């Protein structure tokens, strides 16, 4: 099931991953200390639906445990 970007950003904040919103474009940048930047699709702003496939790629890049992230996303109001 897809998750809202708002939820995902809150979870990522727990891991020290910060969001940078460019002045234009439909992606936001994600940054964490010691890691290269990644991007997240944000064409509908905070309401953007984020797929499992995206979360898989994100977790792979930032070396996060996918099941933990998904669990946090499901549990978060």
Partner 1 sequence: MDQRTYNFHVLIHRSETAPHIWVAHCLELGLVSQADSPAAARDAIEEAVTMIVLDDLNAGLDPLDRQPSEEKYQQMAKDLFERGRTVDLSQDDVADREQVSRFLVLLQLSFEKEASPGGKPRAAHLCELGYDNGAAA
Give the binding site for partner 1 (CB under 8 A).
1-2, 22, 25-27, 29, 36-39, 41, 43, 49-54, 56-58, 60-61
Paired residues of 31 in beta bridges: 18
Output 29 or 72, the one with its CB closest to partner 1: 29
| Angle, in degrees to the nearest 10, between helices 5-14 and 66-75 | 120
Task: Tell me how far, at minimum, the Cβ of 44 lies from partner 1, in Å.
Answer: 10
Task: Tell me how far, at minimum, the Cβ of 27 lies from partner 1, in Å.
Answer: 5
Structure tokens at 15: 């891991």
């Amino acid at each position: 099931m897809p998750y809202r970007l708002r939820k995902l950003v809150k979870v990522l904040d727990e891991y020290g991953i910060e969001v940078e919103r460019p002045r234009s474009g439909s992606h936001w940048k994600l940054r964490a200390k010691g890691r290269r930047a990644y991007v997240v699709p944000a064409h509908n702003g905070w309401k953007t639906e984020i797929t499992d496939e995206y979360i898989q790629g994100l977790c792979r890049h930032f070396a996060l445990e996918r099941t933990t992230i998904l669990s946090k996303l499901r549990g978060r109001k």
